[in-house]
Amino acid sequence: MNVPELPEVEAARRYLHERTLGRRIEGVIVLDPKMLEGDRDEFVSKILRRKVIGTGRHGKHLFLLLDRGALRIHLGMSGSVHLIGDDESTSHQRLRLRLDRGSIVLNDPRRFGRFQYVDGILPFVKERGLGPDALSISEDDLVSGAGGRKKAIKSVLLDQSILAGVGNLYADEVLFQERISPWTSTASLDDDDLSGICRRIGEVLNASIAAEGDLSSLPKGYLLKDRRRDGRCPRCGQELRTMVVGGRTTIFCPSCQR
């Protein structure tokens, strides 16, 4: 199973949007209080009887928009959301919201996910200091946020205060497609380089969304179709290499990404 990143969270948002819009939360069961940010009684009181009026996403944060406030869900390393019948269950339920018909369930085997009540998306983004959403960030925003930094470009792409939503897998893919070494100092990249990276971020994320999270369905020439330690570059055939950049396992082609 892939770690949920922005494309998987966007898929979850669309799934909930199609199935829960206009429905009311009739019951709230917090099955894993350790995954809840905030007080349980307050959380239950704030979302009980609330109506779902929309969905949202910022980076890897998923929002169920209510007629007052919102439910924020982070899927962590293994989380997923499901709409199931009242007499059904999943194997690792952490939160269950009973609707007028069926229930929304947060399933998370590894328990790295989180959920909470928030006043809205914008207040949450401001409070957490998140940068623009990676799927909609402008070239100017990326240039102004990342330009001149001395950190490796791979680390900059993973910095959620610069752009929210790019995770380890997609950072590798973006840099592979742009033929840029992951440990290149961002300060050595000019505005045109960063603009190219920005355009590539959108291209890679949209391709993965279109593939519905199935990495094997990505276009020919994508690293993520066979991203592994002993894999071969889909462009030149050379053996891929693995190194740690900014504490994260990084796979790259030493020939294509100089």
Q: Which whole-number Å values give the CA distances from 229 to 83, 86, 102, 256, in the listed order? A: 36, 44, 43, 16
At 195-233, the pLDDT tens digits run 999 999 999 999 999 998 789 999 999 999 989 888 999
Which residues neighbour 95 within 8 Å (Cβ) at sequence distance 6 or greater? 28, 29, 30, 31, 32, 35, 36, 105, 106, 115
Domains of the chain: 6-128 (3.20.190.10), 139-252 (1.10.8.50)
Residue 147 has a pLDDT of: 87
Residue 61 has a pLDDT of: 98
Total-model pTM? 0.94
Intra-chain end-to-end CA distance of the chain, in Å: 31
Order across the sheet with 103-107: list the strands: 25-30, 93-99, 103-107, 80-84
Active-site pick, 4, 7, 182, 234: 4
Active-site pick, 68, 199, 248, 254: 248
Active-site pick, 13, 46, 60, 154: 60
Residue 3 has a pLDDT of: 81
Catalytic residue check, 248: yes
Task: Tell me the two tokens of residue 127.
Answer: 């409070």
Residue 223 has a pLDDT of: 96
Q: Which residue do the tokens 């869900």 mark?
A: 73
Catalytic residue check, 235: no
Catalytic residue check, 60: yes
| Class of residue 93 by CB neighbours under 10 A (exposed 0-12, middle 13-18, buried 19+) | middle
Q: Which residues of 110-138 are buried (b: 16+ CB within 10 A; e: fewer)?
A: eeebbbbbbebbeebbeeeebbbbbbebe
Catalytic residue check, 151: no
> Residue-wise pLDDT tens for the chain (258 aa)?
568 999 999 999 999 999 999 999 999 999 999 999 999 999 999 999 999 999 999 999 999 999 999 999 999 999 999 999 999 999 999 999 999 989 999 999 999 999 999 999 999 999 999 999 999 999 999 999 998 899 999 999 999 999 999 999 999 999 999 999 999 999 999 999 999 999 999 999 999 999 987 899 999 999 999 898 889 999 999 999 999 999 999 999 999 998
Q: Specify the DSSP element, H or E, that contains 94.
A: strand 93-99
Residue 230 has a pLDDT of: 84
